Amino acid sequence: MPQSAYSPGERAMLPADNTLTTIDRIQNLILESADFEEFLNELARFSAHQMAGDGDDALCGITLLRERKALTIGWSSDAAREVDEIQYSLAQGPCLTAAEEEREVHVPDLLEENRWGPDYASAVASHGLRSVLSLPFNLEGEAKAALNLYSEAPYKFDERAADRARGYTREVSQALRLAIRFALHADSAKNLRAAMESRTVIDIAVGIVMAQSRCSQEDAVRILTEASSNRNVKLRDIATSLVDSVDAAGTLTHFEEPAQEPGRSRAG
């Protein structure tokens, strides 16, 4: 397959590029990406590939924290974005801590984690993930950001993997800082700023559940994540369904499953 058939991130991972340094590859991503959003997603995919190790896949999200608002600006997959957004709904978690405090945060096993309360760990673990490593980028005042790595394996990010991730974030920080600076001063920055100002569909759904059930934010997140787990439906889809139902019907008395058609089984 010709190289032109690959995305910029996929081309950066081709064996033919093994002679290039990480900085060379990131510069190529900047030059070959159509816009800021594509660059960030390609960077996340490339980062996941670089950090996976041992032939396994890893999930990667890039969190940007600016003016006290957090947003996943790049993700290697929808699952990576969803588990990042769990933290934003709870207003706590390793990626937020890493970005806000500019320090490395390691979660060896989510089943043994309680630093952010039981809701965060159980919600992320329900996605089949077990370990997390979040590392801050050095953006020198442009904003704060963190690289978030997730794995299905417990104790995935040992000291060797963490050291590789530290070196990688140091190398990538300058390119990311420049990309953010240019984007915030370009027309494409309007979309980024609008996204930073608006709540995600999950945030909206959490607010709906809080209002309907008169419960805390933590309880609302737990209700949604349990519904996601019990129905084997992505958290974002559960949230979208709830928000759409409120838009269509006005106000629901409480969060519940949509009524089934007569004669139709739950499994159907």
More confident residue, 246 or 264: 246
Instruction: Tell me what pLDDT residue 2 has.
Output: 40
The model's pLDDT over 54-109, given as tens digits with 9 standing for 90+, comes to 556 689 999 988 777 888 888 998 899 999 999 999 999 999 999 999 999 999 99
Integer Cα distance of 73 and 88 in angstroms: 13
Q: How confident is the model at residue 127 (pLDDT cuts 50, 70, 90)?
A: very high
The model's pLDDT over 3-17, given as tens digits with 9 standing for 90+, comes to 444 444 444 444 445
pLDDT over 50 at 233, yes or no:
yes
Average pLDDT over residues 135-157: 90
Instruction: Tell me what pLDDT residue 84 has.
Output: 92
Mean pLDDT score across all residues of the chain: 80
Q: How confident is the model at residue 112 (pLDDT cuts 50, 70, 90)?
A: very high
